[in-house]
């Protein structure tokens, strides 16, 4: 949160008691976007989480926000657990609630945030599911003539695996940010942070084919559109459309139903680590703000450690 200071303890500030906490939702979201600089997708996720909390809040016996206590908020966490949500999802909801209550304190609506007393549920170290390099190759070749725009779909899959970009970063790529001759692209990640990602020859060839044979047809209805990947109407492709493209082609090559666009990002990172990439370099390529987020990939693939053991151990 930005360093805006709460009122001092000895001030004459008065706690206001709004009738419905829902009136603070839009100002809170505006605060996240304008003052905290959060990306639109992040703000959208916070909107969803707070809306669910407010719906539950209204279903409980009426009480003002100033009377919300630890037991009341613990009841909401139990409600989330009864929905059989993953511990990571419950933790994300809790983070959202804490930010919301801290905002209410900063605005003088509450004197203190009881939400800060809640502990996050213990999380198992979760290992992301990845595809083997062979299965990735099958996936990249899955788009076929039965598809409306197979070259576009293949270019999307190749770009996602070559760069490790998030799906939001892929759909927001401007055409002029992709430098095929130089083999790199500039993408904007979380927190509006820009980074450069490398393109391998497979991705370059796939994008070149799409730009030559399919994108000109897509731009006829909307010549001014600057996004690299376009939908049928000539407008920027949506995240849902990319999700559908990945799901459809994953099913064609016999992948699990759990495969998603993020699976390609996990696969990129895991294969890079298995190939000997330094974790700091991988952090930059993935656009992680904290290296602890990147460290999960050191636990995913043990093939390199096994090979080192076999090579150097006297009984290997």
> Measuring CA to CA, which residue among 71, 45, 57, 74 is closest to residue 20?
57
Domains defined along the chain, listed by start: 21-117 (1.10.150.130), 133-290+301-312 (1.10.443.10)
Exposure letters 68-83 (e unless 16+ CB within 10 A, then b): beeeebeebbebbeee
Q: Mean pLDDT of successive 10-residue segments in the chain (316 residues)?
A: 56 52 89 83 90 92 86 89 83 91 90 84 63 93 94 97 93 94 91 88 96 94 92 91 95 89 91 86 87 75 62 68
Catalytically active residues, by annotation: 166, 190, 262, 265, 288, 297
The pLDDT value given to residue 211: 96
Q: Are 80 and 93 in contact (CB under 8 A)?
A: yes
Q: Are 143 and 209 in contact (CB under 8 A)?
A: no
Nearest 5 degrees, angle CA 86-CA 88-CA 89?
Answer: 65
For residue 22, the 8-state DSSP code is: G
Q: Are 49 and 96 in contact (CB under 8 A)?
A: yes
Exposure letters 256-275 (e unless 16+ CB within 10 A, then b): eeebbbebbbbbbbbbbbbe
The pLDDT value given to residue 159: 96
The pLDDT value given to residue 15: 47
Q: Are 310 and 285 in contact (CB under 8 A)?
A: no
Q: Where are the alpha helices (DSSP H) in 35-177?
A: 40-59, 70-82, 87-106, 133-140, 150-163, 167-171
Residue 51 has, within 13 A of its CA and on its CB side, a CA count of 8
Structure-token pair, residue 201: 């020859």
| Cut 0.75: pTM above it | no
Torsion sign (Cα): 290, 294, 296, 298: negative
Torsion sign (Cα): 130, 135, 137, 143: negative
């Amino acid at each position: 949160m930005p360093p805006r200071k709460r009122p001092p303890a000895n001030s004459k500030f008065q706690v206001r008691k709004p009738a419905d906490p829902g009136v603070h939702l839009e100002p809170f979201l505006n605060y996240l976007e304008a003052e905290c600089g959060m990306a639109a997708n992040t703000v959208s996720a916070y909107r969803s989480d707070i809306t669910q909390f407010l719906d539950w809040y209204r279903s409980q016996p009426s009480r003002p926000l100033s009377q919300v206590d630890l037991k009341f908020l613990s009841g909401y966490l139990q409600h989330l657990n009864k929905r059989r949500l993953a511990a990571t999802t419950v933790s994300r909801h809790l983070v959202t609630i804490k930010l919301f209550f801290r905002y209410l304190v900063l605005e003088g609506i509450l004197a203190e945030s009881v939400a800060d007393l809640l502990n996050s549920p213990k999380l198992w170290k979760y290992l992301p599911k990845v595809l083997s390099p062979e299965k990735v190759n099958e996936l990249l070749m899955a788009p076929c003539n039965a598809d409306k725009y197979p070259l576009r779909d293949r270019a999307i899959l190749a770009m996602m695996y070559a760069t490790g970009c998030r799906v939001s970063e892929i759909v927001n790529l401007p055409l002029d940010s992709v430098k095929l001759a130089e083999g790199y692209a500039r993408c904007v990640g979380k927190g509006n942070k820009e980074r450069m990602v490398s393109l391998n020859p497979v991705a370059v060839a796939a994008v070149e084919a799409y730009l030559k044979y399919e994108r000109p047809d897509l731009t006829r209805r909307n010549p001014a559109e600057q996004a690299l990947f376009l939908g049928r109407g000539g407008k920027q492709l949506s995240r849902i459309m990319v999700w559908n493209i990945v799901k459809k082609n994953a099913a064609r090559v016999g992948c699990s139903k759990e495969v998603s666009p993020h699976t390609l990002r996990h696969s990129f990172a895991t294969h890079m680590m298995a190939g000997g990439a330094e974790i700091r370099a991988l952090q930059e390529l993935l656009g992680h703000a904290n290296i602890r987020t990147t460290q999960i990939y050191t636990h995913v693939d043990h093939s390199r450690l096994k090979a080192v053991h076999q090579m150097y151990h006297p009984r290997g």
